[in-house]
Structure 1
Amino acid sequence: MTFSIDKISLSRTISSEIVLIIKDNLLRGVLKPGDKLPTEKELMEQFGVSRTPVREAIKILEAIGVIQIKRGEGMFITNNLSQFTLNPLIFSLIMHSNNMEQLIEFRQHFEVLLMNMIITNGQKDISRIEEVYQSQEERMNSDLSPEELADIDLEFHYAVLEATNNPFVIEIGKTIYEIIKPNMIHFKHSSNIERTLKTHNFYLELLRGNIDFNSGTVVQQMIKNNEEMVK
């Protein structure tokens, strides 16, 4: 399969350009659900780039549900493309993912929004969030790899997303976390794990109503927590 490829722009990262090209080919019907993609080596040749940006693009596309990797068979366009998968806003976040500082700033205020949405919902159910937190207390230990600890950390944030019951917020949030994930702290010492659990417990106390969300210091504390989590 040969893609319809315009000249790759140097204003974005190469991996972001590859993601955009595949998205455009989907929108134009060159690619369809179920189609098998070229191999990694073939993509390198078609795009005229090295292996690294191709792999980065594949990770992004897999994370947002555009492609599915079947071991021993190859890469395929998923048959379950959702209405959000090709959402311009989602792809805008991906295209700007190289500006990590501003993305982190956005995440800081995004999580304040999440807390506010859940707290102001009179029928809020945080049982799943509490369950995930208790599981984290049991599972997080210094013997796990940085990747495993990052995955366990994100389980909490995904549970918070789901508690908003807002599909737009959930899809945007998942994309933000997938983009930020490689830059998250690699937990190598117990102090990092303790800080994560302390931050998650702070969020829980907010949701339980034990901390006044309207306090001016709460938002500042949440932003500070997020800054520490991605340094």
Structure 2
Amino acid sequence: MPFQKVQPEKLSGAVTRQIELLILRGILRPGERLPAERELSERLGVSRPSLRESIADLQQRGLLDTRAGAGIYVADVLGSAFSPALTKLFASHDEAVFDYISFRRDMEGLAAERAARLGSDTDLKVIAAIFAKMETAHSKRDPSDEAALDAAFHLAIFEASHNVVMLHMMRSMYQLLREGVFYNRSVMFKQRTSRGDLLEQHRAINSALQERDPAAARAAIERHLDYVAQALGAQQKAEQNEEIARQRFEHESSR
């Protein structure tokens, strides 16, 4: 008969599985600091030796990092998604920018559909709360807060889609975007017309999600990213035209 004796589980194993799931589900994020050992052991209801055994296992497997004098952190597990060589290649070719936007259009459209269907009421409250912060940040002259909230808004949609593979993959993609690998997001937010358009696009996405309308949510995402692609294309063309005009001016001035 295919039965085996049930073995009692070590407390450290239960702790390990709990922390693993928190990382897998995106609740504990890369770079996030865990509570101090004493506090964490009390929260988990285990002894400090059991906690230390679990932490050591997670460190060995590359999920947690210890920083001398600073504590224990979730490891940067997203950094391995793309090699440094491929990241540099992305940054040096405009083709990658538009392929990236096209990829986001497909993936975020799917995520928005899933979020409208599968997201909990709390998931949708998180998205609405981030959008409310975007509205507040929109009134500021400095667009950096609004640009940061833009990324948080889109990542909250992936969290609400409840697909952990999609979530971690897109977090990795957004990390490259924050680092300016694909394009400088702040440039779009510096123009008042663009900022106004972008805010209204995010309003439409949020409204469709709050109404739990999967088709409308996907369509709103697609319109938004079509706009981003068009705006970036126009920006690149304007920069090329300015460079040509500068060369003409320098040539004329030297005659």
Q: TM-score range by the shorter chain?
A: 0.5 to 0.7
Q: 2:187 matched to 1:191?
A: no
Describe the superposition over 1:199-220 as per-residue Cα deviations: whole angstroms up to 9, x where unpaired.
Answer: 1111112212376617996575
The CA deviation at 1:185 is 4.8
1:138 maps to amino acid: T
Aligned twin of 2:215:
213
Aligned twin of 1:111:
108
The CA deviation at 1:168 is 1.8
The CA deviation at 1:131 is 0.6
* Distance across 2 between alignment mates of 1:160 and 1:215: 10
Of all paired residues, the percent bearing the same amino acid is 18
Superposed counterparts of 1:136-151, under 5 Å: 136-144=134-142, 146-151=143-148
Aligned twin of 1:97:
90
The CA deviation at 1:227 is 2.2
The CA deviation at 1:112 is 0.4
Q: 2:111 touches 2:161 (CA, 8 Å); kept in 1?
A: yes
Q: 2:120 touches 2:160 (CA, 8 Å); kept in 1?
A: no
* Distance across 2 between alignment mates of 1:138 and 1:189: 17
* Distance across 2 between alignment mates of 1:216 and 1:126: 15
Q: 2:124 matched to 1:131?
A: no
The 1:180–1:196 alpha-carbon spacing in structure 2 relative to 1, beyond 3 Å, is same
* Distance across 1 between alignment mates of 2:229 and 2:220: 14
* Distance across 2 between alignment mates of 1:217 and 1:80: 35
Describe the superposition over 1:19-39 as per-residue Cα deviations: whole angstroms up to 9, x where unpaired.
Answer: xxxxxxxxxxxxxxxxxxxxx
Name structure 1 gaps, 5 residues minimum. 1-64
The CA deviation at 1:96 is 6.0
SS at match of 2:82: helix
Instruction: Answer with 1 or 2: which has the greater Rg.
Output: 2
Describe the superposition over 1:14-73 as per-residue Cα deviations: whole angstroms up to 9, x where unpaired.
Answer: xxxxxxxxxxxxxxxxxxxxxxxxxxxxxxxxxxxxxxxxxxxxxxxxxxx99x9x9xx9
TM-score by length of 1: 0.54
The 1:126–1:100 alpha-carbon spacing in structure 2 relative to 1, beyond 3 Å, is same
The CA deviation at 1:230 is 4.9
Q: CA RMSD in A?
A: 3.8
* Distance across 2 between alignment mates of 1:215 and 1:136: 18
SS at match of 1:132: helix
Superposed counterparts of 1:42-191, under 5 Å: 80-81=74-75, 84-85=77-78, 90-91=81-82, 94=87, 97-98=90-91, 99-121=96-118, 123=120, 125-144=123-142, 146-181=143-178, 182=180, 183=183, 184-186=185-187, 187-191=189-193
* Distance across 2 between alignment mates of 1:212 and 1:170: 18
The CA deviation at 1:153 is 1.8
TM-score by length of 2: 0.49
1:133 maps to amino acid: F
Which segment drifts farther, 213-222 or 192-201?
A: 213-222
Describe the superposition over 1:119-175 as per-residue Cα deviations: whole angstroms up to 9, x where unpaired.
Answer: 22174530000011111111223521x544321221211222221233222211122
SS at match of 1:91: coil
The 1:86–1:191 alpha-carbon spacing in structure 2 relative to 1, beyond 3 Å, is closer
* Distance across 1 between alignment mates of 2:217 and 2:151: 26
| Higher helix content, 1 or 2 | 2
Describe the superposition over 1:83-107 as per-residue Cα deviations: whole angstroms up to 9, x where unpaired.
Answer: x4365xx226847634222112101
Q: 1:153 touches 1:196 (CA, 8 Å); kept in 2?
A: no
